[in-house]
Structure 1
Amino acid sequence: MTESEIYDTLRQGLWIAVLISAPLLTVALVAGVVVGLFQALTSVQEMTLTFVPKVGAMLVVFWVSMSFMTSTLVGFFSETIIPLIAGS
């Protein structure tokens, strides 16, 4: 295994990590901004108001995108990592 193969595999792995985490991070960002605006407009400074909607939205998005995440990881391992381990 050469250095270029290692760096290419690392690059692919990091890109897969970005693809998998993007839906959850996007929803957390949007929910945080919406709740922050709501708190600023109503002057309600409750800590659970920021936590509960964000976690709820992230759970829903995780449940919806779980098949995408799983298929992406399985494809990466079966097409990239396992052939490298097997030496093919």
Structure 2
Amino acid sequence: MIVRIMGEGQVQISAEDIAVLNELDNELEAAIEVGDEPVFRTKLHALLDKVRQVGKALPDDSLEPSELILPPADASIEEVREMLGDQGLIPG
């Protein structure tokens, strides 16, 4: 799966890593639902860090279509709330 982190580039993640990313996504979504800014910020950074850790960075000149688009680390809680789908940022 190709994931784009806005402002950073694309990484390829394996299907095996989706479950861990979904757990972090659920925690992020819970923080957004209650409007807890400090927890939101911690969970957003944890999710992005995990994507960077498990993902293989694609070259900057790669033009692969992204299956998921994640917000940048400095996104506001409102910006991320607008990006949430029925299954959070990461479906599955």
| TM-score above 0.5 | no
Greater Rg by CA: 1
- Give the structure-2-normalised TM-score: 0.31
Q: Which has the higher strand share?
A: 2
- Give the structure-1-normalised TM-score: 0.32
Q: Which has the higher helix share?
A: 1
